[in-house]
Chains A and B, each alone.
Chain A
Amino acid sequence: MAERVLMKGNEAIAEAAIQAGCRHYFGYPITPQTEIAAYMAKKMPKIGGTFLQAESEIASINMVYGAAAAGMRVMTSSSSPGISLKGEGLSYIAGSDVPAFVVNVQRGGPGLGGIQPSQSDYFQATKGGGHGDYHMIVLAPASVQEMASLTIKGFNLADKYNMISMILADGTIGQMMEPISFEDVEVEHYDKPWALTGTECKRKHNIVNSLYLQPEVLERKNFERYEKYKVVEENEVLYETYMMDDADYCVVAFGIAARVAKNAVVAARAEGIKAGLIRPITLWPFPKKVLRDAADQVKSFISVELNMGQMIDDIRLATECRRPVTLCNRVGGMIPSPDQVLQSIREAAKGGN
């Protein structure tokens, strides 16, 4: 049996990153993800890696861009306001098609907001965040174990598709402790012939770049990138279903909200309401098919989110609005109780939506 250790969610990300072969971390302090930087600051110098506290989030993401272009497994982590600042660099990295791993342990917003858990960066993570047409692979862990395994998976996917993969967590999962193991995801390796390594005067120079002044060329680049995104959408969707086999009412929730929702689903079943849960694990690519299929089965959907209703749009799109979708939410660092979610399920069951 795999060895299990008790860890904080943020530390699990840091340790998993090291196990995934990441030897370069660039970051800037922000609550509630500071444990990641602290862990890296301690570990990296001892294993021949780089930990560097940058002068800003902007600088740190551009350091990531440099190390990623140099062919390294590299990461940064931040929380919501910091991710906004990294938006510029994320767009450049996406536009240059180099792989990078980014963590957003979300806090309430907008603006400086608060430091308590939130999921209000769903739009930012799944619809862009920086300028231009691009996507990141967005992974939403719901446990400390998933913080670790999705981190390793995130590095693999980034290298596989030369994309950014982002862990979209929240302050709760970042701060809580659970026993985990590091052995359930294999570390994959991919060649990087495009990387900046120095030509050794043996090959034509590699150029990492996102500038294409000829519109025909830039258009082609965008089309090519979206062809790649199609492949990701076809092959990399992850989700969990719970009690969906005979469900009449489908709760959709990710991350910490899904854990609360699961309790509510069990409670609803105890009252004779056939509720089930679909938990997207990849927020991009979004699990459209399972939701579309669920729309053939259930009477309505309940989206449980720690925001003002962001994923709910994707549920409506995936289900082509064939069933009503209601929102059950708390914001600003508040988390819905299982009772609140149960109440939303009851209302759906009464057809009161």
Chain B
Amino acid sequence: MAIVFQKPKSLTDAVLHYCPGCPHGIIHRLVAEAIDALGIEGKAIGVAPVGCAVMAYDYFTCDMIEAAHGRAPATATGIKRSRPENIVFTYQGDGDLASIGMAETVHAAARNENITIIFVNNAIYGMTGGQMAPTSLPGQVTQTSPYGRDVKHCGWPIRVCEMLSTLEGPEYIARVAVNNVKNVKAAGKAIKKAFQNQVEGKGFSLIEVVSACPTNWGMTPKQALNWVESDMIPYYPLGVYKDRSAAKEAEAK
């Protein structure tokens, strides 16, 4: 009998620790599929964040390092600069990348550091139990915004792709989602392109994946995916925000 579906080679057999209904499993899979498709498992080095994906080092079969909170782009820079022949990626959440690690993110992008960043935006700090994130929506109730995020008090959520795409540096900035089959397929393509760019030496690629956190949003998995569609995506529109190579090609035509 022919095998029509199986676990990507680049994922280990470890049982994921994520909550029921959490899309991290899907996103891990998309990353592993991209690594498999490009045949770079033996060259890949992954950088795990602090946050829900802190134990990602157990889930990918490639060499892995656990970075300090927010510092994954700097750690990845150290690896990539010293081993340019390897394929280096980070996997980070919104608190990690857009709050404590914003400086590292912006400057890695500005340097067009030849790395791949998978940025999972679920609008909340998951691991610590559901605090307000830099991407929590206005009015969103969290443990530390119990009356809803009051933008007058704590400011507005940050749109990372829009902000980074104003920089000259980065090669490829795109936002995808994993709330339905169509979006998952598009996300897989974007993630693969983000790795392909690195293989081709094009530079900094960041894929923001709009995700969900049923546990800390206080929703069923289905309600959470619906909320992604009804509330998250309108604030964080999907699409390609910067693609330098494509823009150059279009110009050439």
Residues of A within 8 A of B (CB): 23-24, 26, 50, 52, 54-56, 58-60, 62-70, 72, 74, 88-89, 92, 96, 196-202, 205-211
The reply on B45 being an interface residue by CB < 8 A is yes
Pair A66/B76 contact, Cβ less than 8 Å: yes
Does A63 contact B60, Cβ atoms closer than 8 Å? no
B190-223 Cβ-contact flags toward A at 8 Å (1 or 0)? 0000000000000000000000000000000000
Give the CA-CA distance A9 to B66 in the complex, in Å. 35
Which positions 34-91 of chain B face chain A at CB distance < 8 Å? Answer: 41-45, 47, 54-55, 57-58, 60-68, 71, 74-83, 86-87
Q: Is the interface of B mostly helix, strand, loop or mixed?
A: mixed
Count how many pairs of residues, one from A and one from B, have CB atoms less than 8 Å apart in the complex: 139
> Are B103's CB and A67's CB within 8 A?
no
Q: Does B104 contact A (CB under 8 A)?
A: yes
**Interface residue count on the B side (C-beta < 8 Å):** 37
Q: Specify the chain B residue showing the minimal Cβ separation from A52.
A: B81
Say yes or no: A205 contacts B63, CB within 8 Å: yes
Question: B residues bordering A, Cβ < 8 Å?
Answer: 12, 41-45, 47, 54-55, 57-58, 60-68, 71, 74-83, 86-87, 103-104, 106-107
B45, A59: Cβ atoms under 8 Å? no
Residue of B nearest to A201 (CB): B42
Selected contact of B74 from candidates A50, A63, A208, A209, CB within 8 Å: A63
Q: Is the CB of B66 within 8 A of A209?
A: yes
B-chain residues with CB within 8 Å of residue A58 when the two chains form the complex: 71, 74, 103-104
Residues of A within 8 A of B83 (CB): 70, 72, 196-198
Instruction: State whether A197 touches B86 (Cβ < 8 A).
Output: yes
* Distance between Cα atoms of A179 and B102 in the complex (Å): 45
Asked whether A70 lies within 8 Å of B71 as measured between CB atoms, the reply is no
Q: Which residue of B54, B86, B104, B107 is within 8 Å of A198 (Cβ)?
A: B86
Min distance, Cβ B55 to any Cβ of chain A, angstroms:
7
On whether the beta carbons of A70 and B103 are closer than 8 Å, the reply is no
Cβ of A72: which chain B residues have Cβ within 8 Å of it?
A: 82-83
**Considering only CB atoms, which chain B residue lies closest to A200 in the complex?**
B42
- Measured CB to CB, the closest approach of chain A to B58, in angstroms, equals 8
Q: Say yes or no: A63 contacts B75, CB within 8 Å.
A: yes
Residue of B at shortest CB range from A58?
B71
Collect the chain B residues with CB atoms within 8 Å of residue A74's CB.
Answer: 78, 82
- What are 22 A-to-B residue pairs whose CB atoms are below 8 Å? A26-B78, A52-B77, A55-B107, A58-B74, A62-B68, A62-B71, A62-B75, A62-B104, A64-B78, A65-B71, A66-B65, A66-B74, A66-B78, A68-B78, A196-B64, A198-B45, A198-B87, A199-B42, A199-B61, A205-B62, A211-B54, A211-B66
Contact indicator A198/B78 (Cβ below 8 Å) = no
Q: How far is the CB of B3 from chain A (nearest CB, A)?
A: 20
Give the chain A neighbours of B58 by CB distance below 8 A: 207
Q: Judging by beta carbons under 8 Å apart, are B74 and A54 in contact?
A: yes
- Closest residue of chain A to B58, judged by CB? A207
* C-alpha gap A19/B189 in the complex (Å): 46
**In whole angstroms, what is the CA distance A205 to B81 when docked?**
21
Nearest residue, chain B, Cβ from A24: B82
